[in-house]
Structures are given as structure tokens and as C-alpha cells.
């Protein structure tokens, strides 16, 4: 995919309201809990959606939102019968999914992520879409274990397969599959009900998001519960509708690219206007 097409996706297609932080009042934010399996929950608040497995082998957490919410997060996990997470998987590097890393690392939580997540969290970054500088994390917040392709956990009577999907939302995305419970945490591969944010400057691509959704669809069936990175817990049919929208956008933009349209010309044409009513945020 050309840089023009990718830049258009970043600048004109994506929706990024959920990652804006201006004016937050952390004391007013609470976690909404959705039970998706036996001792398996989705926790939804202001940033990226979390997943948590609780059992005799310990608490297994997926993502950790923002640093000011760590105490509330631990309280909520305690209400569900869990404790300080034994393991934390970061689905990618963005601050609304890794903001609690340093707090949890200081509590002894073992952090796991794709190789590229550690690389990005180890240095200062900038996300142009939000005009936001993201400082490097301290050593306590960095993943201690990284993987290039996949890794598997065996705990709480569950086989938990964590696998990388390349150049999708970012260059370090991971999907988490709870095989016995038939639950998948998609991370920011899926924004349920609205356009995605694709972090092109950190390795993301629309083609990669489409490929990743295809992988998740292939793992799922009509009973699978899928936790998106943003939006409500969904199912296979909803993810397929999202995939179909992405393919439609990709085909539309690719055709305009083939015609030699410039970025400015494409933006002026509003080529995805027909999707706005359903997918615009």
C-alpha cells in the first residue's frame, strides 16, 4: 500500500476520540464488567478494553489502561475474586493500553508483549494523530518477556494462545485466544462499531488490519465472544461486518490510487461518505 493511501487512512478515515485525554476526571471513571467465560471477564472503562482471567494459578491480565486508574483496576479485580496480576500481556504499545505498566511492574507483575512493543516502550515516541509525545517507560514498566511470533500460557484450566499479527494497528499487535472458553481478545485490531485508528507511523496498515481480522474470524464460530480494543464485547458476525467495511474502504481507496488521485483530491471527494452513518464516530 502506498504512503499516500496509508496517510489518508490515518488522517481522514480513522476515528481517534477514545484516545484523547483532555479534561479527564479520573475519580469519575469506573470499570464496567462483562462476564465472558468461567472466571473470565472484560473490563471496560475509558481507554482500551481489558481482559482478565482469575483462578487458582493467579490473575492473568490483558492490557492495563492508564496509570491513574491502577488502584481502581486492582480493586475491581479484587471484587471479582482475583489479586495483583501474576501476568500482564500488552496487546500493543499505545498509552491507553500500557499506562498502568509501571504501577503493576512495581507490584511484581510479569509483563509480556511482542518484541516491537518493548522497543517502542523503551524510547520516547510521538503520535502525530493526537499531537502527543509519549515518554519512554522506566524498566519496571517494560515487558520482561517478549516474543516474535507467539507464546502460550497454561493456567486457570485454560490454554491461552497469544500470537502476533503483523503490521496491523501497529507493528507489534498481539491477539489473545482463550481456547477452552472460546473467547478472543482482539486488541485494537477491532474497534467495535466505528472506524479504527491505524498507527501508520508505527508500522500499522489497513491491509494488515484486514488480514488480522481474517485470522480472528478463522479462529471463531457463532458462539465465540470477542473483546475488541474499543467498544462493546461482540461476536463473529459483528467482526465480519467490520471486516467487510474495511475491505470496502480499502477497495475504494485503492481504485482512486490507481487512477493517480492525489491525497488532497481523495480527501476532497469524501469517498467513504456512504459508510459514515454506520461507522463514523
- Amino acid 281: pLDDT: 64
Mean pLDDT of 111-138: 95
Q: Bridge-partner residues for 114, per DSSP?
A: 147
- Is the pTM for the entire model greater than 0.85? yes
- pLDDT tens digits for range 176-195: 999 999 999 999 999 999 98
- Amino acid 277: pLDDT: 84
The percent of residues in the chain predicted with pLDDT above 90, rounded, is 74
Residue 88, all three cell numbers: 500482564
Q: Strand pairing of 183-191 and 225-230? A: parallel
Q: Does residue 4 surpass a pLDDT of 70?
A: no
- Amino acid 56: pLDDT: 97
Look at 166-170, 185-189, 193-197, 267-271 and tell me which has the smallest mean pLDDT.
Answer: 267-271
Q: DSSP label at 174? A: E
How far is it, in rounded angstroms, from Cα 64 to Cα 73? 8
Taking residue 255's Cβ as centre, other Cβ atoms within 10 Å add up to: 11
Q: Does residue 254 surpass a pLDDT of 70?
A: yes
Band of pLDDT at residue 2, cut at 50, 70 and 90 = low
CATH class, 3-20+27-279 region: alpha beta
Higher pLDDT, 223 or 45: 223
- pLDDT tens digits for range 7-38: 444 444 444 444 545 456 888 899 999 999 99
Closest among 234, 179, 236, 176 to 44, alpha carbons compared:
234
Mean pLDDT of 160-184: 98
- pLDDT tens digits for range 197-243: 999 999 999 999 999 999 999 999 999 999 999 999 999 999 999 99
Alpha helical stretches, state H, 13-166: 70-79, 95-98, 101-106, 115-121
Residue that has been written with the C-alpha cell 467465560 in this structure: 37
- Amino acid 266: pLDDT: 83
Look at 99-113, 138-152, 242-256, 261-275 and tell me which has the smallest mean pLDDT.
Answer: 261-275
Band of pLDDT at residue 50, cut at 50, 70 and 90 = very high
- pLDDT tens digits for range 59-74: 999 999 999 999 999 9
Higher pLDDT, 128 or 184: 184
- Amino acid 17: pLDDT: 42
How far is it, in rounded angstroms, from Cα 226 to Cα 192? 10
List the domain boundaries for the chain. Answer: 3-20+27-279
Amino acid at each position: 500500500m502506498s504512503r499516500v493511501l496509508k496517510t489518508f487512512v490515518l488522517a481522514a478515515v480513522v476515528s481517534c476520540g477514545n484516545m484523547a485525554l483532555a479534561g479527564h476526571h479520573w475519580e469519575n471513571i469506573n470499570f464496567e464488567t462483562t462476564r465472558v467465560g468461567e472466571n473470565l471477564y472484560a473490563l471496560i472503562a475509558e481507554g482500551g478494553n481489558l481482559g482478565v482471567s482469575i483462578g487458582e494459578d493467579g490473575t492473568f491480565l490483558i492490557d492495563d489502561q492508564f496509570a491513574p486508574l491502577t488502584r481502581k483496576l486492582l480493586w475491581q479485580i479484587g471484587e471479582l475474586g482475583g489479586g495483583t496480576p501474576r501476568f500482564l500481556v500488552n496487546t500493543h504499545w499505545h498509552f491507553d493500553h500500557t499506562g498502568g505498566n509501571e504501577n503493576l511492574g512495581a507490584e511484581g507483575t510479569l509483563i509480556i508483549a511482542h518484541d516491537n512493543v518493548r522497543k517502542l516502550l523503551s524510547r520516547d515516541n510521538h503520535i502525530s494523530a493526537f499531537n502527543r509525545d509519549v515518554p519512554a517507560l522506566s524498566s519496571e514498566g517494560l515487558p520482561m518477556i517478549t516474543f516474535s511470533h507467539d507464546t502460550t500460557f497454561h493456567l486457570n484450566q485454560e490454554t491461552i494462545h497469544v500470537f502476533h499479527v503483523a503490521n496491523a494497528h501497529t507493528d507489534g499487535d498481539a491477539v489473545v485466544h482463550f481456547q477452552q472458553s472460546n473467547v478472543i481478545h482482539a486488541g485494537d485490531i477491532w474497534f467495535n462499531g466505528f472506524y479504527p485508528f491505524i498507527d501508520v507511523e508505527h508500522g500499522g496498515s489497513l491491509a494488515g488490519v484486514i488480514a488480522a481480522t481474517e485470522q480472528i474470524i478463522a479462529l471463531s464460530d457463532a458462539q465465540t465472544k470477542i473483546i475488541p480494543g474499543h467498544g462493546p464485547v461482540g461476536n463473529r458476525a459483528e467482526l465480519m461486518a467490520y471486516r467487510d467495511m474495511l475491505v470496502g474502504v480499502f477497495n475504494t481507496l485503492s481504485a482512486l490510487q490507481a487512477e493517480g488521485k492525489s491525497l488532497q483530491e481523495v480527501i476532497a471527494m469524501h469517498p467513504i461518505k456512504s459508510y459514515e452513518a454506520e461507522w463514523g464516530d
